[in-house]
Chains A and B, each alone.
Chain A
Amino acid sequence: MLSAAGCGLSRPEAGYGLEAPVQHHRFSPYTFNGGTVLAIAGEDFCIVASDTRLSEGYSIHSRDSPKCYKLTERTVIGCTGFHGDCLTLTKIIEARLKMYKHSNNKTMTTGAIAAMLSTILYSRRFFPYYVYNIIGGLDEEGKGAVYSFDPVGSYERDNFKAGGSASAMLQPLLDNQIGFKNMQNVEHVPLTLEKALQLVKDVFISAAERDVYTGDALKICIVTKDGIKEQTIQLRKD
């Protein structure tokens, strides 16, 4: 264009100090799909519960996308974070479970799955799986076991753990009600299955009230020596 010919610049406004501040939009391989997971270990049972809302930004993609995946007859995993990585990760875990079964002629124990998941996550240390995992199941002695992970594979066995978008709201309540933290002169009653179920429903109802990414429905998987039972309870859909 003749007016900018002297500068030889492609955009006419360039060179006059009239450029708008440039915003570089880089592609991000991650997105956050929301969701909350909770696992509680009891004396002879384990509960893994998750909401079923799949969101992205201000939208809800699905009201029926549970985050608990059954791995074996004794183990359930809950994965929240980036849904794409959740799907791939669970595929990889299921493949590795089959390989183990074929080589060793036995099902992987809950502790072994946890240790294996840690190395799977760490193998992607420099491009992590954006997934917050919680494994719940029964250990070799039949007691409840909960293992919680960070995105790069650091893990720890707990009695109860909340993960995902509403974890910071749920965890303190569980610390108080199950761990009897910050209370004085209270009898430490061991947790029964009925009380644990009631607690799970109550905390998710509260989380749905205050976290936009949690809601729609609650799916509960109860792991006992007789197998895995499932329950679905409706939550707020707004």
Chain B
Amino acid sequence: MALASVLRAELAEFSPNFPKNFPKNFPKNFLEDFPDDSEGIPEILRDPPGPPRVLAAPPWGFEAEPEGPGLQILHGTTTLAFKTPHGVTVAVDSRATAGSYIASQSVRKVLPIDGRMLGTMAGGAADCAFWQRLVARQCRVQELRNKEPVSVAAASKLLANLVYQYKGLGLSLGTMLCGWDKRGPGLYYVDSEGQRVAGAAFAVGSGSSYAYGVLDRGLAAAARSEEAACELARRAIAQAAHRDAYSGGCVRVMHVGPEGWKEVSHDDIAELQDKYLEA
């Protein structure tokens, strides 16, 4: 399978033929050749009826279809990022859920692309980790060829075009690419539906609405200093973790400036909530 060939170490370049070899109307052909009551196809290869699969966040009251009896993959989150004159501030929670089970409270949802760029993780954990690692590899190759660091616009376009090939097949990815390039701070939101949008502030994930409430209120004040921006980001994630069952664990705040990215703080949400409730 061409996808597996990408993963072989000796390949210098990402295979250009994939997925042109993939049948164009992948799910539809199957349904024409094998009508519903056939025994041939595994359930998970069919397009499920109804609304499209889970995107960056599970919509209320609708759970992503598991692939097989009780096969549960990791999901769920709140992540946010916003631009300030000092750079881009990124904050994420650290909870990973498999169905209603909290599989981990210490997931790293910020993935470094290179020294000056970060990607966040929302939606399917394996999808985000895999595709961002692939983009990081592509960015390194491009940097070596062009003798210039990759721009945030270019990296986000690489990611968006990669996942667009798989549109409709059930990937779940809602990521923000945050970096500093020659045009200054850069922030793009990319998802598995094919959206790629530049902006000044985004919150992504099941707890994003709660985070937006706190974030939008304090954005103007946050531009004053890096500390104010980080504190706002921390507060917004803490609020989302408080109200959203699928977010929690700890808050990790990172900052991307002209010199590159750095981790600003790492706080347990239980302790943060004690602090904020008192105040």
Contact = CB atoms under 8 A, between A and B. Distances in A.
A126 B44 contact: yes
Interface footprint category on B: 35 or more
A215 to B, nearest CB: 19
A32 B104 CA distance: 23
Contacts of B127: 125, 152
A156 B204 CA distance: 22
A168 interface: yes
Contacts, number: 88
Given A24-B36, A118-B129, A158-B106, A152 B68 contact: no
Contact of A150 (B39, B42, B108, B126): B126
Nearest to A131: B71
Given A24-B37, A150-B98, A156-B107, A128 B67 contact: yes
21 contacts: A24-B36, A24-B37, A28-B68, A28-B69, A81-B71, A121-B126, A122-B126, A123-B3, A125-B3, A126-B170, A127-B44, A128-B73, A130-B68, A150-B98, A151-B72, A152-B126, A153-B129, A154-B96, A154-B125, A156-B104, A167-B101
Nearest to B169: A126
Contacts of A125: 3, 126-127, 130, 171
Contacts of A29: 42, 68
Contacts of B169: 126
B245 interface: no
Contact of A156 (B71, B101, B106, B171): B106
Interface string A20-46: 000010111111100000000000000
B279 interface: no
Contacts of B98: 150
B278 interface: no
B51 interface: no
Interface of A: 24, 26-32, 81, 118-123, 125-128, 130, 148, 150-156, 158, 167-168
A126 B73 contact: no
Contacts of B42: 27-29, 127
A119 B134 CA distance: 11
A32 B107 CA distance: 27
Interface string B82-105: 000000000000001010010110
Contacts of A152: 73, 124, 126-127
B57 to A, nearest CB: 17
